[in-house]
Amino acid sequence: MKLNLPSVSLKRMTFPAFLFASLVFFSGLFAQTVENPVQISVKPASPVVHPGEQSALIVTLRIPQGFWIAASTHATRITPIADQVFQFQPPRFPRPDVAGVPVHLGTRQVYTGEVQAVVPFTVSPGAAPGAYTITLEITYIPALNAGELSTHFKEPYTTRIRVVFGGGGGGNPGLPQPARRPVPPDFLVKERKLQLPAPLSSMFYTWSEQSAVPRFLHRLFIDPPNHGKHIQTVWTPVVGSTENNGQSLGMGVALMNVTREGIMTGTLQFRGLYNEYAGATAGMEVISCPAAYFNYRFSAEISEDKNRQARFHMENLTLGKNDRFGFELQANAFQDPRYRFSGLGGATNEEDQTNYTHEEFGGFLDVYWLPVNHWRFFVGGRIRSVDVKRGADRLADDFPYTVDVAAFRNVPGIDGATVVGQEAGFVYDGRNQEFTPSRGTYFKFTAEFNQVTSSPKPVSTYGRFRTEFRRYFSTVDKRYTLLVRNSLTFTTSEKIPFFDQATLGGLENLRAFDLGRFYGQHAVFGSVELRYQAMHKVMMGFPMDLEVAPFVDFGQVFNSTDFEGEFNVNPGLSLRVLNKPNIGLIVNGAVGQDGVIFTGGVDFPF
């Protein structure tokens, strides 16, 4: 086995499919909507104290309707700045609630409504008379049902207190006590209405909720009654360049489904572009996340050169009493003339690359049972009917067609095949939220039994076992998050259709290679990634986090006897623009044996 530690080569560079450049360009024009959702005030129990006397500071946190903050000491902290005049005791908090938020991830102690915390202190006996400023640093994490937002870390709050001579010195039995109270129903995080000059007012138009378009879109996004959301238009450039798909340039318009806090829960986008391999292209995409563990995505695209695509994915784990049942559904019907194939195994080279049209109809359906928090079990079925044809006309001068290469004539599935399978497995999900998590463990095990139902049959039946592991570690302020990942695929036969073999490359694994770069009987993959929150900024009214994440990916495909070729070890850097807790734009750049490759796109970030 040869270890591949790549040198930097810039013979080919690519970058991701969607760049919402207007988010950055116009970010300074919009007001913060959820920058400080919790109202915090600090005041002394008594504005006048005496040397040697006991007193306290009262910290009031007013949490809006629909929000909560974690009650654990590492998530909500009140830290007085050291002072020789005042000796502080640990803060005292009221009793929290126990709630199952986010759903399916166990219970935790949380605060809602108005929370009054008390910070006792004693005035030094030798304190000089006069007015003093006391500063508290407060850390808290506001959260919605779908998950946590950005951490407010060591925010300073001050109050004034006066020390006078005379009286006191014997303690104060009347110290205030921690308490909780409800907040009014109309105590909400409210969006500031944007006042923009023309033509920006039409480019970023907010629709009246009484008109027909928002009413239709809220049904499309599966919003519940009294959702409190609105529809906002956003015009965006569409810029992309990947090795497989080629360069694209165009424009798009998105109708965003936005909460009053500035959280995007859905979008309907229409786009028109020109792609160098597929020609003039029109497409649309709808994404919605109505609730935690309930989301769907549909995309469709048509081009002048053979490209026809329709894909649908839905996850809903909120069915039945107490959300104990659910399903995951994927349906595909597409024809894409830009697919690449370099052969089987880890020893393939970029120079072996060929082009073909991948036609596929199929999908899968898994049914879930969630007997207890953190655990879910599933059974399901899958079908893939694939045909392999000549690729894009515009690529004929650059790559040979896969079906015309003599060396690939004996590759299983090169003439197409149909695979039908059944699967079962389980998931342990101990993350703090489904998307953009910062701590916890995720593990998934899947066992499959598959049948090749078409002729010729390179093999009639085969089994496959897959594991996926993720472990998240973060600092208290979530400024740094360490992600360790590992996955393993084991297949019982190496004679299965090539398109259904274990594969590496793309956005989610071995990011130094484009999608489908390696195919093999088995695959092993690992990654270590350190995410750093470099900036929190409002862009077009949406609170966004910019994360910078250096990483190292490693892995390879192999057969039952040994590793072939080079075991890849690929360093890289990821940029993540996140609208927590749901949607993000991910850009990855990594160095591998094919040079420097960029991958990315808009998705639900893991």
143-152 pLDDT tens trace: 887 778 888 8
Q: Please give the average per-residue pLDDT across 78-96, as a whole number.
A: 91
- Amino acid at residue number 287: I
Highest mean pLDDT among 95-109, 345-359, 461-475, 532-546: 461-475
Judge whether residue 203 has pLDDT over 80.
Answer: no
Report the pLDDT averaged over residues 22-39.
52
Q: State pLDDT tens for residues 331-346.
A: 999 999 999 999 998 8
Cα–Cα distance for residue pair 38/68, rounded to 1 Å: 9
How do the domains of the chain map onto residue ranges? Answer: 2-30+192-603, 39-181
Query: For residues 28 and 350, what is the distance between their CA atoms, to the nearest angstrom?
Result: 44
CA distance linking residue 265 with residue 581, whole number of Å? 9
Token pair 């929000």: residue: 67
Between the CA of residue 452 and those of 358, 363, 431, 466, 491, what are the distances in Å?
Answer: 18, 15, 37, 19, 14
Could you tell me if 529 and 566 are in contact, meaning their C-beta atoms sit under 8 angstroms apart? no
For residues 287, 290, 296, 299, the Cα torsion angle rounded to the nearest 10 degrees is: -20
Return d(Cα 162, Cα 81) in angstroms, integer: 17
Asked if the model's pLDDT at residue 32 lies above 60, the reply is no
Residue 244 CA from chain centroid, whole number:
24
Q: Which residues pair with 271 in a beta bridge?
A: 252, 283
Mean pLDDT of the chain: 86
pLDDT reported for residue 133:
93
Residue 496 phi, psi dihedral angles, 5° rounding: -85, 160
pLDDT of residue 146: 73
pLDDT at 16 over 50: no
Task: From residue 195, give the alpha-carbon distance in Å to each of 29, 191, 201, 514, 526.
Answer: 9, 12, 8, 43, 48
Q: Is the pLDDT of residue 239 over 90?
A: no
Using CA atoms, how far residue 461 sits from 237, 257, 268, 450, 603, in Å, is 47, 46, 41, 6, 34
Q: What is the pLDDT of residue 24?
A: 38
CATH 3.30.565.10 applies to domain 39-181: no
Mean pLDDT of 396-421: 93
The model's pTM: 0.84
d(Cα 25, Cα 157) in Å, to the nearest integer? 32
Q: List the structure tokens of 311.
A: 């894909």
* Dist CA 541 CA 31 (whole Å): 6
Helices H, strands E: what count in the chain? 3, 35
Provide the sign of the torsion angle of the four alpha carbons 345, 247, 357, 302, taken in this order: positive
* 454-478 burial code (b ≥16 CB/10 A, e <16): beeebeeebebebebbbbbebeebb
User: Could you tell me the strand order of the sheet in which 147-148 lies?
Assistant: 97-99, 108-111, 68-70, 142-144, 147-148
pLDDT band at 165 (very low <50, low <70, confident <90, very high): confident
Domain 2-30+192-603: state its class.
mainly beta
Phi-psi region of 131 (alpha: psi -120 to 50; beta: other; left: phi over 0): beta
The pLDDT of residue 445 is 98
Q: Which of the four pLDDT bands, split at 50, 70 and 90, describes residue 373?
A: confident
Under 8 Å CB-to-CB from 255, ≥6 apart: which residues?
207, 213, 217, 231, 232, 233, 234, 267, 268, 269
pLDDT at site 33: 46
Question: Confidence band (pLDDT; 50, 70, 90) for 563?
Answer: low
Pairing of strands 152-163, 39-44: unpaired
pLDDT tens column, 289-342? 988 889 999 999 999 988 999 999 999 998 988 888 999 999 999 999 999 999
List residues bridging with 362 in a β-sheet: 332, 384
pLDDT above 90 coverage of the chain, percent: 55
